[in-house]
A = this chain, B = another copy of it.
Amino acid sequence: MSKSAKSKAEKIASAKRDSLLELLRTEGAKIYADLDKGQFPQFYVPSRSVSNIVYDKKLRQYILGKAAGLRSSRNMSQLRSFTQLIWLAFFANRLVHEKKSSTLRDIYYSSQAFAIDFEDQPESDNIIVDLEAVLARPREDFHIFPEERSSVFGDLTIEYTVPGYEGRRTNLSDHPDGYLIGPSLSSAELVDTSAELVIAIEKGGLFTRFVEEKVDKKFKAIIIDTAGQAPRSTRYLLKRLHDQMKLPVVILTDGDVYGEHIAMVIKSGSANAAHLRDLTVPDAKWVGVWASDIEKYKLPTIPMTESDIKRIYDLQKDPRYQEGIWKKELEIFLKIKRKAELEAFSKYGLTNITDKYLPEKLEIAKSL
């Protein structure tokens, strides 16, 4: 438990913090330099408009193109958002220095102490994304977290780096309800695991079932509840488990177009986080529930709504859905116009999904 000097985890954490602070310092210095030269300070903010978002086949994720907008304190119509961005950078700097975390909503209210006049929370949220784009760092790095929480369970030892817990280690199989993926877990170092696989599953109820059925032991797996669309902190953890711990990632979702897209976002990101890296696992595999599984396993189904069907047509235009299972399964969904939930396997008994479906799909995953 390395009480002596700084542990490796602490060193990594403080290096990460230092590099962010350096980035903020550099941006701040540019402002001062402009002022010294008698020029109006300005920023270049990468454009996040749809026309500047492209799917990069080599990186296998969405990225921003080269378009960037100038935000200048000279331009009266930009002065407001310019000031808001500077203020946010100042506030982020303070959060990181003081090792305090915050939420999107907190930032909106905190601004009022400084007479920063955000119209509403969407306006302040938008400036936060601007700062992410300028720094090419996710807001979590400057300690701004969403409220949404997912969870993780399995044999993974982490070492905390948050104040008061530096150097302390926990094994994520100690609490069988699962561990919340909050600021502390997100900033912890991944120390050790005996797992050989990560299983991300969309539903909390089935996450609990997986723990009860000892999926972690039977399949040497770390299990992650994405709680629907995976929050960024969860995608970041999945990325680290894949890259640092060399673990393959498989994804289990409901058998519908939203489930298919949940898997795709873990694999290759979302358009609205195209300005960020470190949130995608291009090698992740979606193992189901596939549209073809609905017939194969004779699952109870629910008819699709109009909006489900519209969503399929939308995804069919996305470059990522042009081949392989991604294309094929969308076509089958469109043909059968029905969907099935993960819980549908309970029709065959509560443990059918872990006893039968999961091992069969893990076998198939090897060939994907």
Contact = CB atoms under 8 A, between A and B. Distances in A.
Interface of A: 100-103, 105-106, 108-110, 112-113, 145, 147, 149, 151, 160, 162-165, 168, 170, 174-185, 203-205, 208-209, 212, 214, 300, 341, 343-351
Contact of A151 (B109, B180, B300, B343): B180
A50 to B, nearest CB: 30
A109 to B, nearest CB: 4
A255 to B, nearest CB: 13
B347 A105 contact: no
7 contacts: A109-B344, A113-B346, A113-B347, A147-B203, A151-B180, A175-B185, A179-B180
A204 B103 CA distance: 9
A189 to B, nearest CB: 15
Contact of A110 (B145, B178, B203, B346): B346
Nearest to A146: B205
Q: Copy number of this protein in the oligomer?
A: 2
Contacts of A183: 177, 208
A176 B164 contact: yes
Contact of A204 (B149, B170, B345, B351): B149
Contacts of A151: 149, 180
A119 to B, nearest CB: 13
Nearest to A169: B174
A101 B207 CA distance: 11
Contacts of A165: 176
Given A106-B205, A170-B174, A180-B180, 11 more contacts: A101-B208, A102-B350, A105-B205, A106-B209, A106-B343, A106-B346, A147-B203, A164-B214, A175-B184, A176-B182, A177-B179
B112 A347 contact: yes
Contact of A177 (B164, B181, B212, B349): B181
Given A109-B346, A205-B145, A347-B110, A180 B177 contact: yes
A108 B40 CA distance: 65
Nearest to A213: B100
B182 A180 contact: no
Contact of A109 (B204, B212, B343, B351): B343
Question: What 8 A-B pairs come out closest when comparing CB atoms?
Answer: A177-B182, A103-B205, A109-B346, A176-B184, A112-B347, A177-B180, A147-B204, A110-B346
Contacts of A160: 176
Contacts of A178: 180, 182
Most buried by B among A168, A177, A180: A177
B184 A179 contact: no
A205 B346 CA distance: 35
A260 to B, nearest CB: 20
Contacts of A163: 212
A176 B161 CA distance: 11
A101 B176 contact: no
A176 B203 contact: no
Contacts of A113: 346-349
A341 to B, nearest CB: 7
Contacts of A147: 203-205
Contacts of A103: 205, 208, 343
A101 B181 CA distance: 23
Contacts of A204: 147, 149
Given A204-B147, A350-B100, A105 B341 contact: yes
